[in-house]
């Protein structure tokens, strides 16, 4: 759903210019230093990028899902690390508060998320619990007006920068599955929280993850999301449904960027007396990539519009995330192939994207988890 085409066009133009003039010229610097320069972070804040999905009442711009994916089709054309910095605040870190939080929780945290003063992170995964999210073992035991949290969360995106975590922990030790899990807002400075070393990753330099360790960490009961125990798993799943459409839109954007680079290279690079783009075998790689990007783009937009219409999108979100992330991997592979030897060399940048996009098929639910969700829903509907 597009609320006001003119306002949206201004936003999309601004992001597109920012990508062209500020982010792309800084990509190599980010890859080398593993840091997004502070002046770029400040510009992202000033542009309101952290507050895109936060309601206007709390200082954000309250974009619809369709508007969000259109914005990500632009922002995603730069190295994924830039998107990652705003990604958890726009998405999985904040949306649990928005969907299921109390009014007091919204009033307390959303305004500072909207400005980027606070970065929100999503703490679900653990050393022993990844795809099987309902098996998590971090505990939150009620003690007076607090909960005492113990456990370790792993690979938590933006944890080193985070001001708050949306934390999933088990409040009912007798309920081993999803029903025993509750969601909390935990402030990063709370005593009892410590951080592991920054993970050394295959790609996405500039986007940081690390362990978050809770040792007898006292969290006020007022920070139990929605004030009701046992609803945390569903909150997490709802957040991920939306997050999966968001990630799918980034896959489309990065694939478009890689294809644009491969096309330019194919048009310039000459072998056997002509541009390699004149060869049908290279054309096949360009054409397959174009068609697959178009298909993913249509899926993402359809899923987003359905969500805006209030329709269930669990299956569509998983379909879009699965198809778009796998498509992005294939486009990355073809782009490296079209660049040939240059594709393997870091100075051309395409190998960096090849490594960066590998994550899309893994986080916010692996391709295999998406397959499981899609097929389970099909069988459920049949029954
Ligand atoms: N929206 C709302 N509720 C949902 C839901 C959704 N999308 N998906 C599941 N639920 C509910 C179910 O309805 C069920 O509720 P009831 O017990 O009241 O019926 C409950 O949650 C448990 O669901 P289910 O039995 O399907 O849970 P499973 O343990 O089988 O897990 C998967 C399901 C595998 C889909 C889930 O664990 C998952 O998504 N794993 C991947 C996690 C992930 O993406 N991690 C990445 C971390 S962030 S980078």
Minimum CA distance residue for ligand 1 atom 44: 365
- End of a domain among 66, 93, 115? 115
65/130 same-domain check: no
CATH number (domain holding residue 370): 1.20.140.10
Residue 352: the pLDDT is 98
Range of the domain at 143: 120-230
Give the per-residue pLDDT at 151: 98
191 class by beta-carbon count within 10 Å (0-12 exposed, 13-18 middle, 19+ buried): exposed
**What interhelical angle do 232-268 and 80-90 show, nearest 10?**
160
Q: Report the CATH number that the domain containing residue 46 is assigned in CATH.
A: 1.10.540.10
260 plus 347 within the same structural domain: yes
Instruction: Tell me, yes or no, whether 240 and 191 share the same domain.
Output: no
What is the DSSP track for 62-80?
---HHHHHHHHHHHTTS-H
180 and 302 assigned to the same domain? no
Residues paired with 209 in a beta bridge:
157
Residue 274 pLDDT: 98
Domain boundary among 199, 230, 261: 230
* Residues 155, 72 share a domain: no
Do 54 and 114 touch, CB atoms closer than 8 A? yes
Atom of ligand 1 nearest to the CA of 179: 17
> What pLDDT is attached to residue 292?
98
Rounded distance from Cα 174 to ligand 1 centre (Å): 19
Pocket of ligand 1 (CB under 6 A): 122, 124-125, 131-134, 178-179, 233-234, 237-238, 240-241, 314, 363-365, 369, 372-373
- The CATH number given to whatever domain includes residue 204 is 2.40.110.10
Q: Residue 155's pLDDT is what?
A: 98
Query: 364 and 271 share a domain?
Result: yes
Mean pLDDT by runs of 10 across the 383 residues of the chain is 96 98 98 98 98 98 98 98 98 98 98 98 98 98 98 98 98 96 98 98 98 98 98 98 98 98 98 98 98 98 98 98 98 98 96 98 98 98 94
Q: What is the pLDDT of residue 325?
A: 98
**Statement to judge: residues 104 and 189 lie in one domain:** no
Indicate if 6 belongs to the active site. no
C-alpha 293 – ligand 1 centre gap (Å): 28
Angle at 49 between CA 319 and CA 19, to 5 degrees: 85
Number of domains in the chain: 3
CA of 207 relative to ligand 1 center, distance in Å: 26
Kindly give the distance from the C-alpha atom of residue 66 to the centroid of ligand 1, in angstroms, as a whole number: 24
Last residue of a domain, one of 65, 85, 115: 115
Res 308: pLDDT: 98
């Amino acid at each position: 759903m597009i609320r006001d085409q003119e306002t949206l066009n201004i936003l999309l133009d601004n992001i597109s210019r920012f990508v062209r003039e500020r982010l792309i010229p800084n990509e190599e610097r980010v890859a080398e230093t593993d840091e997004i320069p502070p002046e770029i972070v400040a510009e992202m804040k000033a542009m309101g990028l952290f507050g895109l999905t936060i309601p206007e009442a709390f200082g954000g711009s309250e974009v619809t899902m369709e508007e969000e994916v259109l914005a990500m089709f632009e922002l995603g054309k730069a190295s994924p690390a830039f998107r990652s910095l705003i990604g958890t605040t726009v998405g999985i870190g904040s949306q649990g508060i928005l969907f299921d939080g109390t009014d007091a929780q919204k009033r307390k945290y959303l305004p500072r998320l909207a400005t980027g003063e606070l970065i929100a992170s999503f703490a679900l995964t653990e050393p022993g619990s990844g795809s099987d999210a309902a098996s998590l073992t971090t505990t939150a035991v009620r003690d007076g007006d607090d909960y005492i949290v113990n456990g370790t969360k792993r690979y938590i995106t933006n944890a080193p920068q985070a001001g708050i975590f949306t934390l999933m922990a088990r409040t009912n030790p007798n309920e081993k599955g999803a029903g025993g899990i509750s969601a909390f807002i935990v402030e990063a400075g709370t005593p009892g929280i410590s951080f592991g070393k920054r993970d050394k990753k295959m790609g996405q330099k500039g986007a940081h993850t690390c362990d978050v360790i809770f040792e007898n960490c006292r969290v006020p009961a007022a920070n139990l999301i929605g004030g009701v125990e046992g609803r945390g798993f569903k909150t997490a799943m709802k957040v991920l449904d939306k997050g999966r459409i968001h990630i799918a839109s980034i896959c489309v954007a990065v694939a478009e960027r890689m294809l644009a680079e491969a096309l330019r290279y194919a048009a310039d690079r000459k072998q056997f007396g002509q541009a390699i783009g004149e060869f049908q075998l290279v054309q096949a790689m360009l054409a397959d990539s174009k068609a697959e990007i178009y298909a993913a783009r249509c899926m993402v937009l359809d899923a987003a519009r359905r969500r805006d219409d209030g329709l269930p999108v669990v299956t569509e979100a998983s379909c879009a995330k699965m198809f778009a992330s796998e498509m992005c991997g294939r486009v990355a592979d073809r782009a490296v192939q079209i660049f040939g030897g240059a594709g393997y060399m870091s100075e051309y940048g395409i190998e960096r994207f090849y490594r960066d996009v590998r994550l899309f098929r893994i986080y916010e639910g692996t391709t295999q988890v998406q397959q499981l969700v899609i097929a389970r829903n099909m069988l459920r509907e049949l029954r």
